[in-house]
Amino acid sequence: MKTFPWSRTILILLLLLIFWNYFSGLGAVPFHPDETTQIFMSADALRQPVDLAFTPLAAVDLRMRYRLIDSPITRMLIGWGMHLLGQPPVTADWNWSASWHENATAGALPSNASLLAARWSVAWLFPLTCLFFFLLAKRVTNRQTAILAFFLFSSNALILIHTRRAMAESAALCVFCALAWLLIDLKKSAWFAALAAGLAVNTKQTAIPLAGMGVLELVFLPHEDTWRKRILRCLEYLVGISVITILVNPVFWKYPLQAIDRGIALRSDLSSRMEVDYHLSPNPLERSVILIAQVFIQPPAIADVLNYKEETRAVEEAYVAQPQNNLARGFFGGGVLLILTILGWIVICRQIKTDQPPKKSPRLLFLMITVVCLFSLMGLTAAPFQRYYIFLIPLFSISQAAAIDAVWVALKTTR
C-alpha cells in the first residue's frame, strides 16, 4: 500500500502560495514613473514596424530617442498585453521636472486599470522565470538544493517589487535565467542559447556581457570538437542574436548604420549625465559597498529619486508593512544572506576541486557567470539604482542555498 506523498503535496501547496502572493500583490506595488515611459512607448507594438524606422534627416523626437537607446521587448509585451486587456496606453511621457499633479493633468499618470493591465503584461513571466531558475540551480547543485534556492529566490523582496512593475526587470530576469541555464547546460546546438541571448540583450542591455560570455564558451570549452565546429557554432550563436535584434528593432531597418551611430551617441550622453547627476564614484571599493547595500541591506526601493516621495508615502508604507514584501532586509537579515552568499561561493569552489567532470564544468561556469555579472554591474552601471542589480539575486540565491545545504549536512554528520 502506497503512503500519501506528503512532501510533494506540501511543495505544491507552497508553490501555489508563492504564486498567489506574487500575483495578488501586483496592484499593491507603489507606482514608479518609469512605468509611464514603458506604457507610453508600448503604443509602438500596434504600429506598422516600418513607420518606426530612423531617418537621418528627420528630427529625433521623444519616441524616436527611446527607440534608439532602449531595448524594445518590454514595451512590445506591454503594448500587446494592454491591447488584449482592452486598456489604452498613456498619451504623454512622465516629466520628471514637473509636479505629480502636472503630470496627471498632462495624461502621464495611468489609471489603476491601465497600470494593472501593463503589469500583468510582464508579470505573467514570473512562473517561467522560476522554472528557468530552478533548472539553472539544479544543474549547478542538486534537486534538494535547487528547491531551497527557489524559495530563497521567489521570496526575495527585490524580486517581488521590481518584477511586479511594468518595467524591464520582469522580462529581463526571465531571459537572464534562461540564458544562464543554457550557457551552463549548453548542448550541441547553439540556437537555443542564441534565442535566449538575443531576447536578453533586447530586453535589457546589461545582459550584453553575459551574451558575450557565450561566444567565449562556444569557442574554448568544447574540447572534443574541432576548431572548425567551434567556429561554426559560434557563428550560429552570433547570427541568431543578430537576427533577433534586427527583427525586434524596426528603428534600424532603413538606415542601420546611421541609427546605430545615433543610438550609441545618445546612450553615451545619457550614461555620462547619469554618472554626473548621481555622483557615482569610479572607485571599485565604493561601488562594491553600493552593490552590497542595494542587494542585501536597503529596503525595497519604492523610488530611485525622491521627487514624489510625499505622493507615494501612503502606498509605500502599506506595501512595506506587509512582512512578505520586506523579508531579510536590513543589517541583520541582509548580513546573514551576505555571509551565506560568500560561504556558498567557498562551498562551490571546494566542490569544483573534488567533483568529477560532469559536475565540475557547470559549477565552474556558474562562478564565471557570477564574476562576469559582478564586474559588469560594478563597472558599467551608470546610476546606483537597486533594480539594476536584480540579475545578481538568482546567482546569489543559489550560493545561499548551497551554503545552507552544506551547513545542514555538516550538522547531521556531527550528531
The model carries a pTM of 0.93
Spell out, as residue ranges, where the chain has pLDDT lower than 50. 1
Residue 112's CB is within 10 A of a number of other CB atoms, namely 9
In angstroms, the Cα distances linking 16 to 28, 120, 162, 169, 244 are 19, 18, 20, 22, 34
**HSE toward the beta carbon, residue 155, CA cutoff 13 A:** 18
Distance in angstroms (rounded) separating the CA atoms of residues 252 and 55: 9
H-helix or E-strand containing 213?
helix 208-220
Give the closest residue to 180 by CA, choosing from 230, 137, 241.
Answer: 137
CB contact set of 150 (below 8 Å; sequence gap of 6+):
130, 133, 134, 137
Identify which of 159, 136, 152 has the alpha carbon closest to the alpha carbon of residue 29: 159
DSSP structure class, residue 295: I
Collapse the DSSP code of 228 into the 3-class scheme (helix H, G, I; strand E, B; otherwise coil) and give the result: helix
Position 255 scores a pLDDT of 93
Q: What is the CB-side half-sphere exposure of residue 361 using CA atoms within 13 A?
A: 12
- What cell does 43 get? 503604443
Confidence (pLDDT) at 228:
80
Please state the separation of Cα 258 from the chain's center in Å.
29
Q: How many CB atoms lie within 10 A of CB 310?
A: 9
Separation of alpha carbons 26 and 177, rounded Å:
22
Residues in the chain: 415
Does the CA dihedral 70-71-75-76 come out positive or negative?
positive
Q: What is residue 222's predicted lDDT score, i.e. its pLDDT?
A: 61
As a whole number of angstroms, the distance between CA 83 and CA 91 comes to 15
Q: How far is CA 6 from the centre of its chain?
A: 34
Helix (H), strand (E), coil (C) string for 366-402: HHHHHHHHHHHHHHHCCCCCHHHHCCHHHHHHHHHHH
User: What is the 8-class DSSP label of residue 296?
Assistant: I
What grid cell was written down for 12? Answer: 505544491
Q: How far is the C-alpha of 238 from the C-alpha of 1, rounded, in Å?
A: 55
Residue 123 has what DSSP assignment?
A: H
Domain ranges of the chain: 122-413
Cβ neighbours of residue 148 under 8 Å, at least 6 residues apart? 401, 404, 405
pLDDT at 257: 94
Q: What pLDDT does 377 receive?
A: 87
